[in-house]
Structure 1
Amino acid sequence: MPQITVDHSKTLSFDREGFARDLHTATVEIAAARPEACKTQFRPSEYTAFGYEDPAEQGHAVVHVTLGLLAGRTDEVKAQLTEAVLELLRKHIEDDGVVLHASAEVRDLDPSYRKFER
């Protein structure tokens, strides 16, 4: 915990290392997570479709960040964290002329959530 996934169009010029570092810092500061518990997976998508646009045009790109936290954070904390995520996306994704559709959400992990480490 937290479990963080970043789904994004492969075509983005994205400083993933810097984003993850800054996101982990924000998650610790805003949601009281432990630094060593922050884990982020990036999942670049080979193919992104937007509306009726020909995907070969690559005029649009998508990024969506999901943060799964143990239950107990207030709605205000969750909203503050998603706003921080959007600011970090602005900072770490180059504006290369495509229309960027960025979004983020914080959700509570299901009570069945378990993990192990080796």
Structure 2
Amino acid sequence: MPQISVDYSPGLAGAFDRRELGLAINRLAVKTIGANPEACKTVFREVQGFVVGESEAADDQVYVEFQIFPGRTAEAKAALSDAVLALLAERVVPVAGTRLFTAVNIADIDRDSYRSATVAG
């Protein structure tokens, strides 16, 4: 844990290095909330469309969501959110003529219902 999802607009597909950004996000989780490095799992998903209000979004967007076990302080979570936003501002460059909207959410997982499995091939 944590499980990290990074959703981004199609226009940003070539605007950043996913592996490099994923490693940097994982390192921030280790530094700010004490995550185990081997437990950080980051997935990137190119989203085919964002709808904002009553229209399709015209600007590019990156939305990062952390799912973590409870126990971190509100201050630690806020520090992680701030650090990830700063990282996105540094590493993801908006396409010329567009704006970039970024957001981070950190949610606690219900420890009692969460399950995971590893299957060897």
What TM-score results when the alignment is normalised by the length of structure 1?
0.88
Alignment match, 1:15: 17
Tell me how far 1:52 sits from its aligned partner: 6.2
Partner of residue 99, structure 2: 99
CA RMSD of aligned residues (A): 1.7
Equivalences for 1:16-31 in 2 at 5 Å? 16-31=18-33
Task: Please give the alpha-carbon distance, in whole angstroms, between the structure 1 residues aligned to 2:93 and 2:72.
Answer: 32
Q: Which of 36, 39, 44 is residue 38 of structure 2 equivalent to? A: 36
Calculate the TM-score normalised by the size of structure 2: 0.86
* Alignment pair present for 1:114 and 2:115: yes
AA matched with 2:39: A
Aligned residues of 1:62 and 1:102 also touching (Cα < 8 A): yes
Q: Does structure 1 conserve the Cα–Cα contact (< 8 Å) formed by 2:62 and 2:101?
A: yes
The 2-side partners of 1:101 and 1:72 are apart by: 29
SS of alignment partner, residue 11 of structure 2:
coil
Q: Percent identity?
A: 37
Q: Which segments of 5 or more consecutive residues in structure 1 lack a partner in the other structure?
A: none
* SS of match in other structure, 1:11: helix
Q: Which residue of 2 aligns with 1:67?
A: 66
Contact 1:16 1:92 in 2 (8 A): no
Compute the displacement of 1:110 (Å): 1.4
